[in-house]
Structure 1
Amino acid sequence: MSVLVIGEALVDVVHRTDGSVAEHPGGSPANVALGLGRLGRRVDLLTDLGDDARGTVVRSWLAASGARLLPTAGGRRTSTATARLREDGSAAYDFDLAWAPRGDVDPTTYDVVHTGSIAAVLEPGAGTVRDLLERAGETATITYDPNARPAIMGDRAESARRIEALVALSDVVKVSDEDLDWLYPGADPVTVIEEWRQRGPAVVAVTLGADGVVAAGTAGLVEVAGVPTAVVDTVGAGDTFMAALVDGLLELGLEAVASDRLEQVLARAARAAALNVARPGASPPTATELGPISR
């Protein structure tokens, strides 16, 4: 079974609280592709990557984990995200992003098509993303993670409109409580995910950081506790969760994930995120590290 991931690949320039600076390949969709590759899935990434030293690093990083990079237009710089870590390991981001992907891939040849974050709402590439999702909708399962980045997404109301349109095209949606707090200040996250599920998805999950995750599926609400761990930083945690969620979807099928197996899939995804945050940068676990879905 195969996955197409559509979205940004970039380099995270991480400023730590001790004054040190490190660069790590990243980008929310690229992290998801990496995570799926490490879990042994056949995954292609459609992105927009520069022909420069940073682009070479990103290409090697993806290839080492088994994620295949589809041809890009090339000739531009590789995008960056400057992350400034807080004392609790969370990060605030500033972006220097170029995004204009090629649209000449056939999304109907994949079992799952995933997108998210900046690429899904930032023009000119957002139109290409939406077209690909609409083409894939009849044959593939669509997964989506808004992974909101207020620093670059612009007007909140317009971003919410675009995000809601993509939610309606999706079968499985993962969103963080921080995303929802920006999109709908003061709203109850559970109320929002239940409303989003009425727009079309079979599953909508909201991650709550250390407090775990709540998801709305066809059998109702499911809650999974957080996994205690020593946090190095939270870079890539949500993307690692998303990759494990897609992996569970591929293993069990949409119907099972939406109903009787949702709790087991979410618990495994939470374990994956905990393994990621225990080491620096986006570093999802392998299939051996994570283990199978609980029966």
Structure 2
Amino acid sequence: MSSHVLAVGEALVDEVHRPDGSASEHPGGSIANVALTLGRLGRDVRLATWLGRDERGDAVRAWLAESDVTLTGGSDEAERTSVAVATLDDGGSATYEFDLTWQVPKRAAAGADTVAVHTGSIAAVLEPGADQVRALVEAARTTSTITYDPNARPVIMGSADTARERIESLVALADVVKVSDEDLGWLYPGQDPIEAARAWRVSTTGDLADGRTGPAVVVVTRGGEGAVALTAQGEVEVKAPTARVVDTVGAGDSFMGALVDGLWGHDLLGAGRREALHAIEPDVVTAILEQCVAVAAITVSRAGANPPRRAEL
């Protein structure tokens, strides 16, 4: 088996309502979008998800297969395929409502060839799957880099007070965290997002066998303003390229996929590379972030979650 990334989380159908009254359906889901981005960038990626054997599930499976994303066994055993209703405003930003179920397929697990496990968003907070995600991530740390994006959905997660403890516990398990300034603003109202991210990077993780304190890399995305990465070696900021925004659906997920791809390209994935990841140099961070903002800029310039392929960069 070749080296691969295992993405664990939701794949669903986005029902998009636009300001002009039109509506359409297309496959999506935060974790599925990350996997799709990796597949389009030419990476071997497996997705452990929860789809129904129905028409919508067929559409999601075809969409993933076209971008070389492999589903893990048991990912098609849900009673129905979940749906997210996205309503776009005049600026292209989306608000969401959900009809979904989630659990981790029974046969999903990281192996010796799994260089990274990615999770986040709904999958990491919605039961019964959330506890299963945490157990998988805890076990995977012996073989894999853990990447995490909270990608907050207040409609699903409830109050920030409710979500904060679970999110912080997953941050403590992660090696790499990507989070938007909007998510940090929701979780820590009145606090500067970068200050909140600094606290995450040095958060106490005394329950971890390797004794590390906090993730090696925390990246804060700021929409059209670009992104800031925080590491032990300092902080790196990159600006976003100018883009004509059609909508923001999937932009953060494509950024996340590009982040995993960039770390992989610099041989920084896998449990055996954890020390090297904590020692990542600022010039490497800059190069990776520049690719991430380029990928996200292309995604927002197109309708829906439609990240670029490698040849488009």
Which runs of structure 2 are paired with 1:219-230 in the superposition (5 Å)?
219-230=233-244
The worse-fitting range, judged by mean Cα deviation, of 104-113 and 88-97 is 104-113
Q: Does 1:259 align with 2:259?
A: no
What is the CA-CA distance between 1:219 and the residue it aligns to? 1.2
Query: 1:102 is matched with which residue?
Result: 105
TM-score, normalising length: structure 2: 0.90
What is the CA-CA distance between 1:227 and the residue it aligns to? 1.2
User: CA–CA distance in 1 between the matches of 2:226 and 2:109?
Assistant: 36
State the one-letter code of the partner of 1:217.
T
- Tell me if the contact between 1:7 and 1:47 (Cα under 8 Å) persists in the aligned partners: yes
CA 1:283/1:155 → structure 2, altered by over 3 Å: closer, same or farther? same
What is the CA-CA distance between 1:258 and the residue it aligns to? 3.2
* Equivalent residue in structure 1 for 2:296, among 273, 281, 285: 273
Q: Does 1:238 align with 2:248?
A: no
- Tell me if the contact between 1:73 and 1:101 (Cα under 8 Å) persists in the aligned partners: no
* Equivalent residue in structure 1 for 2:138, among 117, 131, 134: 134
User: CA–CA distance in 2 between the matches of 1:33 and 1:115?
Assistant: 10
State the one-letter code of the partner of 2:280.
A
User: CA–CA distance in 2 between the matches of 1:218 and 1:265?
Assistant: 16
SS in 2 for 1:87: coil
Tell me, which stretches of 5 or more residues in structure 1 are unaligned? 291-295
User: CA–CA distance in 1 between the matches of 2:185 and 2:96?
Assistant: 17
- Tell me if the contact between 1:218 and 1:259 (Cα under 8 Å) persists in the aligned partners: no
What is the CA-CA distance between 1:105 and the residue it aligns to? 2.5
Tell me, which stretches of 5 or more residues in structure 2 are unaligned? 204-213, 269-275
RMSD: 1.2
1:189-243 deviations in whole A, cap 9, x for unaligned? 1101111001210000110001110110121111001111101100000000000
TM-score, normalising length: structure 1: 0.96
SS in 2 for 1:210: helix
Query: 2:225 is matched with which residue?
Result: 211
The worse-fitting range, judged by mean Cα deviation, of 238-247 and 64-73 is 64-73
Q: Does 1:186 align with 2:186?
A: no
How many percent identity over aligned positions?
A: 56
- Tell me if the contact between 2:50 and 2:78 (Cα under 8 Å) persists in the aligned partners: no
What is the CA-CA distance between 1:73 and the residue it aligns to? 5.3
CA 1:73/1:89 → structure 2, altered by over 3 Å: closer, same or farther? closer
- Tell me if the contact between 2:110 and 2:117 (Cα under 8 Å) persists in the aligned partners: yes
